[in-house]
Amino acid sequence: MDTIIKITGIGFVGLIFIIIIKQYKPEFALYISMLSGIIILFLVMDKFREIIELLRTISNKSGVNSQFLGLLLKMTGIAFLAEFAINICKDAGEGALASKVEIGSKIIVVSMSIPIISSLLQVILKLI
């Protein structure tokens, strides 16, 4: 509960600064938005580490291939970072660049998922 209060507080303080600064120096508003986002990302890193450890524990107990878990975590990280970059691009008024980042990140995620899809298809073929 403490973390969400910090996150919303940083969001509101950043928003107030952005509103005030846009009146005088609009080019600095993007920097404040980026800084606020980065601070929020650092605040949730501990929670992300806890999730990773929990998934590793579950993976070890269930016998799931740890390479697949690693791939899934990397794909999740790519999705989060891409979403952050896409929103920053949109905030800067660069919708075209945001769509390129989105397409690029989707291609990377799909290419990373090929080993998982291949393994799943092999299991299905063995069952048939």
Q: Does the pLDDT value for residue 71 go beyond 80?
A: yes
C-alpha–C-alpha distance, residues 120 and 83, integer Å: 28
Take residue 112 and report the two structure tokens written for it: 């990373």
Local structure of residue 92 (DSSP, 8 states): T
How much is the pLDDT for 96? 95
Q: Where are the domains of the chain?
A: 65-128
C-alpha–C-alpha distance, residues 9 and 122, integer Å: 49
Cα within 13 Å of Cα(7), Cβ side: 12
C-alpha–C-alpha distance, residues 34 and 87, integer Å: 10
Q: Could you tell me which residues come within 8 angstroms of residue 59 by beta carbon, excluding any fewer than 6 positions away? A: 66, 69
Q: Does the pLDDT value for residue 65 go beyond 80?
A: no
C-alpha–C-alpha distance, residues 113 and 42, integer Å: 27
Q: Tens of pLDDT along 26-61?
A: 889 889 988 998 999 899 888 888 888 888 888 788
18 sits in which H/E element: helix 2-24
| Percent over 90 (pLDDT), the chain | 42
